[in-house]
């Protein structure tokens, strides 16, 4: 999976405004809407929240990867958001999340979704990568962490 085929500068926000999980997810979904990547924002939001209710996608060390399979997209789509002071995302470690990587994939596709999550996880598991993302002052700097 080539991340550059999924992510671009227009799909990165380094100053999210949301103050809770739902607001952050809505803000990330709006990035996808604004870039013509999402057919139905409400459906996508409902699918993500169903997934969140099963088990939070707030992993740990300040990272959350909200994701879902949905009919609101035709292909795998993703965006990245950063909120330096973080929000409660019901993370496994109980800490606030401040790096958000939202991804949606079509309900009937499995491979790309798994590949994308594996590639993203490989990169953000290092403290150095997470620090560079949090210290980034431009979307280009965020993407450079992902080799884009």
Give the alpha-carbon dihedral of 112, 139, 20, 129, to 10 degrees: 70
* Whether CATH 3.40.50.300 fits 3-145: no
Report the range of poorest mean pLDDT among 29-38, 39-48, 88-97. Answer: 88-97
Inter-residue contact 104 to 67 (CB < 8 Å)? yes
Mean pLDDT of 6-21: 96
CA distance 67 to 102: 6
For residue 108, pLDDT over 70 is answered with yes
For residue 84, pLDDT over 80 is answered with yes
Q: Which residues pair with 79 in a beta bridge?
A: 102
Question: Which pTM does this prediction carry?
Answer: 0.95
Mean pLDDT of 41-48: 98
Report the range of poorest mean pLDDT among 4-13, 32-41, 107-116. Answer: 107-116
Inter-residue contact 6 to 66 (CB < 8 Å)? no
pLDDT class of 1 with cuts at 50, 70, 90 = low
Cβ neighbours, 10 Å, residue 134: 16
Mean pLDDT of 63-67: 95
pLDDT class of 117 with cuts at 50, 70, 90 = confident
List the chain domain ranges: 3-145
What count of residues does the chain have? 148
pLDDT reported for residue 18: 97
């Amino acid at each position: 999976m080539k991340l550059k085929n999924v992510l671009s500068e227009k799909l990165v926000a380094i100053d999210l405004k949301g103050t809770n999980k739902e607001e952050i997810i809505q803000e990330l979904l709006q990035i996808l809407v604004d870039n013509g990547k999402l057919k139905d924002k409400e459906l996508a939001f409902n699918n993500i929240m169903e997934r969140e209710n099963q088990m939070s996608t707030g992993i740990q060390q300040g990272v959350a990867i909200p994701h879902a399979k949905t009919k609101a997209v035709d292909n795998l789509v993703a965006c990245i958001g950063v909120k330096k002071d973080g929000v409660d995302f019901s993370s496994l470690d109980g800490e606030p999340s401040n790096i958000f990587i939202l991804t949606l994939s079509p309900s009937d596709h499995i491979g790309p979704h798994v590949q994308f999550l594996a590639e993203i996880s490989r990169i953000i598991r290092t403290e150095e990568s997470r620090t560079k993302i949090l210290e980034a002052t431009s979307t280009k700097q965020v993407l450079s962490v992902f080799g884009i």
